[in-house]
Chains A and B, each alone.
Chain A
Amino acid sequence: MTRTSHRVWTTLLGACVVSGCDVAPPGTGVFLLLDTSGTYADELTRAETVINYLLGTLDPGDSFGVARIDGGSFSEKDILFRTTFDERPSVANDQKRQLMEAAAEFADTVQNASHTDITGGVLQAVEWLNEVEPGRKTILIFSDMEEDLPAGYVRDFPLELSGVDVYAVNVTKLRPDNVDPRVYLTRLDQWRTRVESGGGRWTVINDLERLAVELAL
């Protein structure tokens, strides 16, 4: 083998090794939005179960964030916590314990919100997921999906959700939904259209026992 061809092969091999050694982005990023409006506040104890399930399922290197949905959700003040778990399993476990305590404290001290800005929460979630760039982006909306914006808030614009899986979890039925189920179905349909037109995937999970199967983390 000549010296030139030897150098070429060495360079190619080095490039292959280096490219293969790149640190890949964390596998999964999950952002959980918790509806704290009056109609939904009683469901927050179940949200704690969902948080604990996610903490037990996510791996080191994954990203997890939780924010509340209130009157103006597109704000950092509504974020309870957001973190990327450490690469080391032992440190990640400690982080999970701290987050579990923070979630328990939130569930004990949460106050009902007067309005519901789901779109703002989704935007906040998408912004963070795009910043972290995990391999898989997931937004869980723990809400009845009944948006109630304060006066003057603008949210009627398309959402950019390409590559994002949006799960509406525990979508409880309100009294008007019971009177006319079409209201409920129309509400969900509108959200589906909005998410899918933005490039995302939409799923409704009302049975929390099927959460593990649907998420497939």
Chain B
Amino acid sequence: MPTWLMAFPESPVLSVLLLVVVLVIAMYGARSPAHRVIQSTAKAVTQACKLTADAIRGVQNRLTDRTREVLLSEGLQEAERQIEQEFTRIASSVERDLGAYPALHRILADQVQRVDEDYRKATDAPPALEGWKQTIQAAGELTKTLGSPTAAGKAVDALRVTVEKVHDEALDLYRENSRERHRLLAKMVPAWRSMDSTLTRVETAVTGIFERSRHLDDLMRGYRDIASKSDAAERALATSSLTQFVTSALVLVIALLGGFINFQLIALPMSEMVGATSRIGSMPTSDVAALVIILIEITMGLFLMESLRITRLFPVIGRLERRSRVRMAWATFAILFVLAGIEASLAYMRDMLAADRIALTQTLAGGVVQRPEFMWIPSIGQMVMGFILPFALTFVAIPLESFVHTGRIVLAQMTAGVLRFVAFTVLLVGFSAEHVGKAVKDIYDMVVFLPLKVEELIVDARARVRVDDAAADRTASRA
């Protein structure tokens, strides 16, 4: 304890006691201003926290609104694109399936006409067998009546014979005609089948168009929901964005691992080309060179996807004429093919270098250099992998596009969540500051409780005296 604080240097206890008494008296004297200071400080902190929380909530609301606008806008664009695609598909389907309908109609008409002709030819006109029978019966009865020897009987009999003969000929002709009719009907069967097949094709085409129309209706319904900026549409789009973000992130992680494998395949042989000692910053130049090759392959893949209009990351490429895009696609594919070939050769070189190192290690260890029998298998495998991986990495453009588009939305939503949490925390701090101020005031009063108690007793005593005086005055006035 500093000596200048000790009133009685020979008695520290007494000095401390005196110090405490002086401090308490001083604190009692400064109680009101001290309370005001504590209260105003607490209020200042509370107000500041409230203002800060309001500002953060304002930023969060603006971010949420902007995110909603972007989400709905992108959802609208996507819906338009899907509707446009669907219309294109319907148009091509109509053109493909029903474009040849006039020819189809002619074929159907020919088939119907042929069937009609065959049908007419196959019309059945049987002879009037009942008439012939009656005639023959009448002639027979007449012969019996007239008797066979008479001339009339003979004439009738001759007539009967002739009629019977004609009747037989008619029956033969009828049978011949029936055979011909059956033959014609049998010829009609392929035509029926052909008609049936043609009509089935037409039915399938029309059914397909109906289904596409129903799908188009669903898309239009979704488009109207998004255009109306409903909360349900926003929620659906947000969920869809999150799903796409997670899916594309997962695919990008897999692609990253593929890129890492690719890097491992070519980093060692790159040190043969650029040297193992030079560095760019803290990284060996060979590693940087390998990384650059992989990034160039990914870039070429990106441009290839853009040229084929599979992705739409670069509007400049999308605006090019079709011929320019085709040329660009071929150029990027050629570069990719060359790089894949280079990688395959580097992968083979890697295998050779690894084998050389193993042989050296075995020699240094005093052993006999042994090359396993089937080492050509991993060599071939590495070469194939070195050739295939660049082409596989070209497709990373698709999840990358999805990741970029949805990442903005998801990041904004996460940021809004963080801002909401920060605002809540700041508000909580302000709320706590208010109560802390009250607590500090109470603690202050606890320290100076003795003089406060004395003050309270004096004030109570004076109050009692005033009450007694007032009562005495009232009694005196009544008397």
Query: How many contacts between A and B, using CB within 8 angstroms?
Result: 59
- Asked if A155 is an interface residue, CB under 8 A from chain B, the answer is no
Q: How far, in angstroms, from A88 to B349 measured CA to CA in the complex? A: 12
Does chain A have a CB within 8 A of B82? no
B365 touches A24 (CB 8 A): no
Nearest Cβ on chain B to A122's Cβ, whole angstroms: 26
Q: Would you call A96 and B356 a contact (CB within 8 A)?
A: no
B281 A89 Cβ-Cβ under 8 A: no
Q: Is A52 an interface residue (CB 8 A)?
A: yes
Q: Which residue on B lies nearest to A61, using beta carbons? A: B277
Total residues of chain A contacting the partner, CB 8 A: 22
Taking A60-B271, A88-B272 as contacts, is the C-beta distance between A24 and B360 under 8 angstroms? no
Q: Which of B268, B277, B279, B357 contacts A93 (CB 8 A)?
A: B357
CB of A5 closer than 8 Å to a CB of B: no
| A61, B274: Cα distance in complex, Å | 12
Whether a CB of chain A sits under 8 angstroms from the CB of B353 is yes
Provide the bound-state CA to CA distance between A100 and B361, in Å: 11
How close is A48's CB to chain B, nearest CB, in angstroms?
9
Of the candidates A53, A55, A88, the one whose C-beta lies within 8 Å of that of B276 is A88
Q: Does A23 contact B (CB under 8 A)?
A: yes
Whether A189 sits at the interface, judged by CB under 8 Å, is: no
If A52-B366, A100-B363, A100-B364 touch, whether A87 touches B275 (CB-CB below 8 Å) is yes
B476 close to chain A: CB less than 8 A: no
> Would A24 and B276 count as touching, CB distance under 8 A?
no
Nearest to B274 among chain A residues (CB) is: A87
Check if B275 sits within 8 Å of A88, measured CB to CB: yes
Q: A20-B280, A24-B278 are in contact. Are A90 and B363 (CB under 8 A)?
A: no
Q: Is A179 an interface residue (CB 8 A)?
A: no
* Smallest beta-carbon distance B411→chain A, Å: 29
Which of B277, B281, B364, B365 contacts A20, CB < 8 Å? B281
Which residues of chain B have C-beta atoms less than 8 A from A93's C-beta? 356-357, 360
B353 CB contact (under 8 Å) in A21, A56, A87, A90: A90
Shortest C-beta distance, A12 to chain B (Å), equals: 16
Known contacts A24-B279, A56-B365; can you find 14 more A-B pairs with CB under 8 A?
A26-B277, A59-B276, A60-B271, A61-B276, A87-B277, A88-B275, A89-B271, A89-B276, A90-B272, A90-B352, A93-B356, A93-B357, A97-B363, A100-B363
Give A residues with C-beta under 8 Å from B: 20-21, 23-24, 26-27, 52-53, 55-56, 59-61, 87-90, 92-93, 96-97, 100
User: Lowest 4 A-B CB distances belong to which pairs?
Assistant: A61-B277, A87-B275, A60-B276, A52-B364
